[in-house]
Amino acid sequence: MACFRCPGCGYTYDESQGDAHEGYPPGTPFEDLPEDFVCPDCAVREKGDFERARE
Amino acid sequence: MTSYTLDHPTLGHIEYRDRKRYLWLSSLFMPLFPMLGIGLFFVTGSQWALAVPLVFSYGVIPFLDYALGSDTNNPPEEIVPQLEEDRYYRVLTWLTVPMHFIVLIAIAWFVGTQSLTVWSVLALAITAGSYSGLGINTAHELGHKKPLFERVLARIVLAVPAYGHFCIEHNRGHHKDVATPEDPASSRMGESIYAFALREIPGAFRRGWAVERERLARLGLPVWSPRNEILQSYALSAVLQGALIVAFGWIMLPFLLVHNIWAWFQLTSANYIEHYGLLRQKEANGRYERCQPHHSWNANYIFSNIVLFHLERHSDHHANPTRRYQSLRNFDDIPELPNGYYGMYLLAYVPWLWYRVMDRRLLALPHIRGDLSKVNIAPDKREAILARHGQVAGVTA
Ligand SMILES: [Zn+2]
């Protein structure tokens, strides 16, 4: 499982954790997040802006 | 005074002292201003004293912005991470939260227990509403932060003006759609603040609820769930304002109505002046360009910035929404308002004067230079604006 990082604010989406508050259960691949996904913390960066982070 | 230092590989030794450090304590003393009128009333016995806080907000603050001028403090970007870590600043925002409850309850007590003229009740409701509008500003600062504790505090303080949907709608709606025609919280050229209020208040309400409904649906929960964060805040509003009605009687109904509306209108006023006419361009893929520093109006006046947790350094806020108030920076060459927010609110309340001052300023911005295709224009005013300013574009384009 990979991590994806918001280049603006540093929010990290960890696929193994998901994001419970946002309603993405553990194991949800980043790819499966909705196309209009925006960073839950800053909302400035969109799905396409996220960078794969080293685990 | 605390100083922050850093040995930077290329820039060398950097040292910064925050000369505003202790000025930020004023957020704890701010409640004295709404209470000042009541204090003076007990001293002088005159109900005119109750107007003093309003004179302060709309007369003294704009004057002090003019008189004290710009704020030359600007933390170097390299120092920002250290400033962010300094817990002193965040504790001040936490302590501001109970102040908003205390002031509303104190003013409600005064209204409920004294025999006052209608005008005095109105002045007190507006004074309380102004301070609760500042509560939305406190919620704004807290609601953008990552720690859950601060987000919960934001929800709590939003209960005072009964505006629990604000943080959700603002963070996830406004910050995404800012400076586009789709954003109900970005004002358009030719749109008066009154027309804007009728678009912004219901628009923000709908968007906040839509965002929260979607989140709950992903969690498999209905919208009427105890985990609905908007409802949590509204529930606290109902308890607070319901208790005031029970304690101080029916006079609280008009008092709280004016209080709530005035607090919301403070937010409307801030939204109105923060992005007036500014427009993000669409890129080839049909998406809007990312929000740039020239998509927000800024004011760098020291006095009102201290009152508003640096909200007026708005371009940096939109570039870095999770950044804490003490580290927001001012930049040269960004859209600049001719006075602080309070002075600009007054100007906005007189639309023809607002257009006179701001339309010229808007069209003169370096990225616009009279090109109306780069302006967010009110659709019903488009023809009139093109007829009036169209040739400017013809000359320079
Ligand atoms: Zn982010």
Q: Nearest to residue B229, comparing CAs of B244, B245, B239, B214?
A: B214
Tell me the chain A residues in contact with residue B216 when contact means C-beta distances shorter than 8 Å.
Answer: 23
Cβ of A23 and B218 within 8 Å? yes
Question: Ligand 1 mean position to A6 CA, how many Å?
Answer: 5
Tell me the chain A residues in contact with residue B291 when contact means C-beta distances shorter than 8 Å.
Answer: 44
Question: Ligand 1 mean position to B85 CA, how many Å?
Answer: 18
Helices (H), strands (E): how many in chain B? 18, 2
pLDDT at B393: 45
- CATH (domain of A17): 2.20.28.10
B215-237: per-residue pLDDT in tens? 999 999 999 999 999 999 999 99
Model-wide pTM > 0.90: yes
Instruction: Output DSSP code: residue A19.
Output: B
Please, which residues have CB within 8 angstroms of residue B202's CB and are 6 or more apart in sequence? B184
> Residue B117 above 70 pLDDT?
yes
Smallest Cβ distance to B176: which of A22, A24, A43? Answer: A43
Distance of alpha carbon B265 from alpha carbon B200, whole angstroms: 10
- Domain ranges within chain B, ordered by starting residue: 19-354
- Domain enclosing residue A36, as ranges: 3-54
Say if residue B55 is exposed, middle or buried (CB neighbours under 10 Å; 0-12, 13-18, 19+).
exposed
A3-44: per-residue pLDDT in tens? 999 999 999 999 999 999 999 999 999 999 999 899 999 988
Among B180, B213, B218, pick the best mutation site for testing chain A contact (most A Cβ within 10 A).
B218
What share of chain B has pLDDT > 90, as a percent? 83
Side-chain half-sphere exposure of B396, counting CA atoms within 13 A: 15
B153-209: per-residue pLDDT in tens? 999 999 999 999 999 999 999 999 999 999 999 999 999 999 999 999 999 999 999
Distance of alpha carbon B394 from alpha carbon B372, whole angstroms: 10
Q: Which of B75-84, B259-268, B352-361, B388-397 has the lowest mean pLDDT?
A: B388-397
pLDDT at B218: 95
- How many domains are there within chain A? 1
Q: Is B285 in the A-facing interface, judged by CB distances under 8 Å?
A: no
- The ipTM estimated for the assembled molecules is 0.93
Cβ of B321 and A22 within 8 Å? no
pLDDT at B351: 98
Phi, psi of A14 (to 5 degrees): -100, 115
Instruction: Output DSSP code: residue B325.
Output: G
Q: What is the mean pLDDT of residues B364-369?
A: 95
Please report where in the chains the tokens 């009687």 appear, as a residue: B249
B236-292: per-residue pLDDT in tens? 999 999 999 999 999 999 999 999 999 999 999 999 999 999 999 999 988 899 999
Distance from CA of B188 to the nearest CA of A (A): 21
